[in-house]
Amino acid sequence: MNLAAINQLVLMRAASVILIPVILIMTLLATVPATAAVRVSSLANAVTPETPQRLIEVTISGEVKVPGKYVVKTGEKLSSALAKAGGYTDTAYLRGACLIRERIRRDQQKSLDDMARRLEDELFWEVSAPPSASSPGKDSRINTVELEQKRKLIETIKKLKAKGRVPIHLTHLRLLKGSENDIELENGDILVIPETNNTVKVAGSVKSPRRFTYCEKCGYKSYIKASDGYSEYADTENSFVMKIDGSAMKLTGDAIIWNASKSRWELTCFTQDQIKIEAGDVILIPERIAWLKEIKDFPRILMTIAELTGVTVYLF
């Protein structure tokens, strides 16, 4: 074989080495679906979508133009939800607006239950205590009437249900938006805006408990006088007013009081008659009962119960 023939043979073998892998690659590509190529291309140019924002449901009822259930975004605020509801009606009483929140209701109910247990232990410890050797002449038996009153009080408190009310202060939507009162909503929130209430109620130990037409210039003493005054066993020192916004304020005795709706102590100007009575307020006069002195700070407990439950009825 001459040199030219040898060179030609070498070139042919080299070409076959190069062509075979190329042919194999082309064959494989031919078998790949067109969609796979599209997927590869789209992945290369894909933009990761944002995670969808979680939605919550709130209920708005009462004096709004379009009451109902609304689906809003997490973090949405009062003003935004109220705008969706069309805003307030002409008869809306913003001071009486009430926001109910399940998370708060559970916490409040636990506080109520704990309070009932502590009161029960405090009131009935002497029932199981052995007679005192230091006072042999004293009747160790518990007064039946007193014992029945104590049991009735505990049973009443145990039956109470917390409302879960969150203190809110509504204003015109333009002023509410972006203010400190424009709080974030939570899933399941219920907002109730009542109709204008033009009455003040006086309840408890007065001679003629009743409702009166609201008088802007009248203090609490004027309403009690209109109720024919205190009854014989009225506990005038521990009277309080349940405000339309859900807070409770003692009417007499303390220059400094605890405002639960704002979670702070407040100065009351020393003159308790200057506590402003508003439309929708309830003035409550407890009854003076001797054994209630056994309960430490019972007037404060009574006001706390009123704030947690909205109950201002006579408890005894």
Digit-coded pLDDT (tens) for 37-85:
333 333 334 444 555 678 999 999 999 999 999 999 999 999 999 999 9
For residue 102, what is the enclosing H or E element? helix 102-128
Per-residue model confidence as pLDDT tens digits over 185-212: 999 999 999 999 999 999 999 999 999 9
Is the separation of the CB atoms in 244 and 280 below 8 Å? yes
CA angle 307, 265, 214 (to 5 degrees): 50
Burial class (CB in 10 A: 0-12, 13-18, 19+), 42: exposed
Tokens standing for residue 143: 């007064």
Stretch 256-265: mean pLDDT = 53
**In terms of pLDDT, which residue wins out, 35 or 168?**
168
Residue 18: per-residue pLDDT? 47
Residue 41: per-residue pLDDT? 33
The predicted model scores a pTM of: 0.71
Question: What one-character-per-residue DSSP string does 194-259 give?
Answer: PBP--EEEEEESBSS-EEEE--TT--HHHHHHHTTSB-TTB-GGG-EEE-TTS-EEE-SS-SEEEE
Residue 312: per-residue pLDDT? 67
Per-residue model confidence as pLDDT tens digits over 74-118: 999 999 999 999 999 999 999 999 999 999 999 999 999 999 999
Q: What is the 3-state secondary structure (H, E, C) of 257-294?
A: EEECCCCEEEECCCCHHHCCCCCCCEEEECECCHHHHH
**In terms of pLDDT, which residue wins out, 194 or 31?**
194
Q: Is the pLDDT of residue 7 over 70?
A: no
Residue 313: per-residue pLDDT? 54
Per-residue model confidence as pLDDT tens digits over 139-167: 545 578 888 888 998 999 999 999 999 99
Residue 293: per-residue pLDDT? 78
